[in-house]
Amino acid sequence: MNTEHIRCLIIGGGPAGYTAAIYASRAALEPVLYEGTEPGGQLTTTTVVENFPGFPGGVDANKLLGDMREQAVRLGADIRRGSVTAVDFDRRPLLVTVDSGLQIEADAVIIATGATAKYLGLPSEQKFRGLGVSACATCDGFFYRRKDVAVVGGGDTACEEATYLAGLCNKVYMIVRRDVFRASEAMQKRVRETPNIEVLWNCNTQEVLGDESGVTGVRLVRNDGEVFDIKVDGFFLAIGHHPVSELFSRWVKTDDNGYILTEDGSSRTNVPGVFAAGDVQDPRYRQAVTAAASGCRAALDAEKYLKG
Ligand code: NDP
């Protein structure tokens, strides 16, 4: 089997990974980045990014990612298509296998594999993804100004997204499957104090309704069996995220939800030489700009580690 030695291996092609590659290249760490099966990560599910600093008119998400990638390549990063299929962090150098069968011995590894939003799994939800169905209010809420929207979920994210959307939209329905929120009391209070949020308790989504222009409504079923429709232009999922950390969790400590734990406000994991950046270690902020910033930190931490 072919084995290649790499000083700094970056796993994941999103804002965190590309930024880590930019910094690692400039630090002469000769980084190699594997982009995985969905280069660009979650940001590719949105259209225009209006809150990434430096773009007063907004920027197309794919253009932003493409530019980050190009910048990393121009500075010397070796960016490759392909996924990591196995790691062995007991070994030194760290051992990583990619889907081509190549084995990599890496002196340092930056994990930037991101997270994926949970969806309900309805065919109609899939059909209207990007056409009114979104899992990121901060990314897409602006497009629903003065319109009616629905948010699914009763946790902190759902409450936060609903109150954010309430500031933009005419009306926000929250679709909550039980008769209580999971969210903290503080977030619940914010929802209660926002007059244009209506909570639909004990409700599940049966179908997302729409036509060629996108989402037009949602068919709900109450726990007592009653089926009814609401008219909305946007349908936001806020039922949690899965950090993509399974491959590493035998070695790298995670919290109960699988988010990689880092030490002392750094990007260092419990395994020397393994660093984490972006949404795989961030249950809270999950923004392109915070992911990019943590990619920078991981590359600086890796540089310090490699240069002793
Ligand atoms: P949570 O797991 O806390 O909440 C998920 C919500 O979605 C729950 O109300 C759950 O219902 C509901 N849900 C799950 N699956 C389905 C489904 N199939 N159909 C309908 N509803 C469903 O996820 P969050 O993303 O809200 O939060 C993740 C973590 O991040 C939490 O620890 C949270 O506290 C934290 N966070 C903190 C924030 C802050 O402090 N400002 C902001 C955002 C997140 P049920 O309750 O019935 O299971």
- How many angstroms is it from 152 CA to the middle of ligand 1? 10
Which residue did the predictor score with more confidence, 40 or 158? 158
Catalytic annotation, pick one of 8, 78, 88, 139: 139
Residue 44's pLDDT band (cuts 50, 70, 90): confident
Count the alpha carbons within 13 Å of 101 in the hemisphere toward its beta carbon.
2
**pLDDT averaged over every residue in the chain:** 95
Q: Residue of the nearest CA to atom 13 in ligand 1?
A: 239
Where residue 46 falls among pLDDT bands split at 50, 70, 90? low
> Could you identify the residue written with the tokens 């594999």?
113
User: Which distant-in-sequence residues (6+ apart) come within 8 Å of 270 by Cβ?
Assistant: 252, 253, 261, 263
**Nearest-CA residue for atom 28 of ligand 1:** 240
Is residue 279 flagged as an active site residue? no
pLDDT at 56 over 90: yes
pLDDT the model gives residue 157: 87
Pocket of ligand 1 (CB under 6 A): 120, 152-158, 160, 177-178, 182, 239-240, 283-284
φ, ψ of residue 229 in degrees (nearest 5): -110, 150
Give the pLDDT band (50/70/90) at residue 211: very high
Percent of the chain scoring above 90 in pLDDT: 87
Residue 1 pLDDT > 80, yes or no?
A: no
Q: Is residue 125 pLDDT above 80, yes or no?
A: yes
pLDDT band at 45 (very low <50, low <70, confident <90, very high): low
- Distance in angstroms (rounded) separating the CA atoms of residues 54 and 64: 11
Kindly tell me the number of DSSP H helices and DSSP E strands found in the chain.
7, 19
Stronger pLDDT, 48 or 139, i.e. the higher one:
139
Give the pLDDT of residue 286. 85
pLDDT band, very low/low/confident/very high, at 48 (cuts 50, 70, 90): confident
pLDDT of residue 39: 76
> What are 146-155's pLDDT values in tens digits?
999 999 999 9
- Is residue 201's pLDDT more than 80? yes
Q: How many CB atoms lie within 10 A of CB 39?
A: 20
Q: What average pLDDT does range 198-221 have in this prediction?
A: 98
DSSP reduced 3-state for 63:
helix
pTM over 0.85: no
Specify whether the CB–CB gap between 115 and 286 falls below 8 A.
Answer: yes
Residue 251 has pLDDT above 80, yes or no: yes
End-to-end CA separation in angstroms for the chain: 31
Model confidence at 49: pLDDT above 90:
no
